[in-house]
Homo-oligomer: A and B are copies of this chain.
């Protein structure tokens, strides 16, 4: 759906939409467990809701495509995940709540170890402790100097991972990675991918040389490797696109960061499920779109811990009556992608999807799981189409054409 056409259909309204997103929710059957995580979980509240909802299966991106959390979330919010495939540097920055400006070019920075001839011997600098990285980043931020009024900021993320931010007028993001992606060779020189990025590439080149000098005395982190350069640009907001005043309730910085990129108000004081659902309750009068993100389903899936993922799903189920008591006009329950415990990682599998509203077509699905949802009224759809459907159910979309 062309976002401009959609934006033209949007009508102001007071109806409230809740997206309850269990990260990595989808699963596949695991041997000896008698089904998928959702099939194994006791979810009386979700099942009761499925009975009065439209259900279906949802592809985060498309058949066979396993998404990272970035594109999966952009799709959920109705943003074309191919168009908004944000750079790794930007994603890392959002992940540490770093306040980006539209003057910023960002790259992911890995500390690395080079030998006296400058050849990379460890691309991760022995995974130095985060404390070491914090100290080094502070030093770099203080001592690095770029010409032309450009400010250089180095922010630690975790262990050997950091971000490099160049802030100034006229910077460009089209710069190739300096990470050679193997050991035994020197880092690559930062190369402009387009002529307009040559000045920025040359600034990055100077920064790398200075960094080598500043870190010369470090036993492990004596060089940096840069990748995923990107210019930060302002994204159209949920308000611009859908007329929604949106609130993000998430415990992990990266999801808060992505929400901020699409103009949501972000709560940062929540740190567990109970607080998240209480926050939904407390802020319910003030917004009309709520994104409530549950991280633990994904984490337990990534651990390959089927039973623990089941337990998280069951815990979330217990909060559902609280959500229903708020009487949202539209309630969507789904995930951003699948993380089957059997695979201990993200996967391409479609997700179960449930949409409740006063105006949904009620199908015959009576259980909320991957197999039951196949028979649902929403059929098999792509995540990027979910937002228009939610808006329609909130009666916030006008008729298209006369």
Q: Does A47 contact B (CB under 8 A)?
A: no
Given the known interface contacts A5-B82, A29-B361, A363-B371, the answer about A399 and B63 at a Cβ–Cβ threshold of 8 Å is no
CB proximity to B under 8 Å, residues A57-72: 57, 61-72
CA distance A66 to B377 in the complex (A): 17
Contact, CB under 8 Å: B1 / A62: yes
Contact B400 A66 (CB under 8 A): yes
How often does this chain occur in the complex, in copies? 2
Check A360 for interface membership: any CB of B closer than 8 A. yes
Could you say which residues of chain B place their CB within 8 Å of the CB of A253?
none
- Is A127 an interface position by the 8 A CB rule? no
Q: How far is the CB of A90 from chain B (nearest CB, A)?
A: 9
B364 near A371: Cβ-Cβ < 8 Å: yes
Interface string of A368-396 (1 = CB under 8 A from B): 00110011111111000111111111000
**Residues of A bordering B, CB below 8 Å:** 1-2, 5, 9, 28-29, 36, 57, 61-72, 81-82, 85-86, 88, 91-92, 228, 340, 342-343, 346-350, 359-364, 370-371, 374-381, 385-393, 397-402
Q: Which 10 residue pairs spanning A and B have beta carbons closest together? A: A379-B380, A64-B388, A64-B392, A71-B401, A68-B401, A64-B389, A63-B385, A348-B392, A63-B389, A68-B402
CB<8 Å pairs between A and B, sample of 29: A1-B63, A2-B82, A28-B359, A28-B362, A36-B361, A57-B377, A57-B379, A63-B386, A63-B392, A64-B388, A64-B389, A64-B390, A64-B393, A65-B400, A66-B392, A66-B398, A71-B401, A88-B402, A92-B402, A343-B359, A347-B359, A347-B392, A348-B392, A349-B361, A362-B371, A363-B374, A374-B375, A374-B379, A375-B375
